[in-house]
Amino acid sequence: MEHFIIFDMDGVLVNTEPLQYELWKETFAQRGLEIDYDHYKGCIGSNPKRLMQLIWEGYGVDFREDTDIRPRYEALKKAYLLEHPAPAIEGAAETVRALKEKGYRMAVASSSPQAYIEKFIAQLGLTDCFELLFSADKVGGRAKPAPDVFLATAAALGAAPGDCVVIEDSHNGVLAARAAGMRVLGFPNPDSGEQDLSQAEVLFFPFRELLQHL
């Protein structure tokens, strides 16, 4: 039996969650709304559509059909990343390389756009370690906690869901992996907003401990 590992990216391989919050906070401030972390963190692991729903529910301000808000965010993010590399999770790159040497087949399944996935994985020097870099944008509107991105990634790998292990740092991601019928191991990243990972099979920290659970 072949063994497959599917990694989330943000908060698992690169520590982008604090950055993304600050950029969204600045984006909404440009439109006259001050947001706090408690209203934001429910979208971690999901997508901007989920964030707009949380803003509507928490503040009563409706950006759900706004065509300006996401381009503003993307422009801020692009400008930042031109000047700064993505912050790596300590121990992630060496752990991924060790897993490749052990013969695992691996992919990334992320809610981030495809261009960012490819950019960040290249910055980590891990492009050759992954058979597939897969964005949830490819599966339409159903982001995590829906299982779509994980099921599509497994299908592209030619893997049965039961042969896949997912590595996640978010509540939405853990729920998505469970709904896909996959094992899920939780990485409790302290910068990901005290996520509820209670439905993960096991928690590991620091990242190098992942090797002990596979």
Active centre residues (catalytic): 8
Q: Which 3-state string (H, E, C) describes the chain?
A: CCCEEEECCECCCECCHHHHHHHHHHHHHHCCCCCCHHHHHHHCCCCHHHHHHHHHHHHCCCCCCCCCHHHHHHHHHHHHHHHCCCCECCCHHHHHHHHHHCCCEEEEEECCCHHHHHHHHHHCCCHHHCCEEEEHHHHCCCCCCCCHHHHHHHHHHCCCHHHEEEEECCHHHHHHHHHCCCEEEECCCHHHCCCCCCCCCEECCCHHHHHHHC
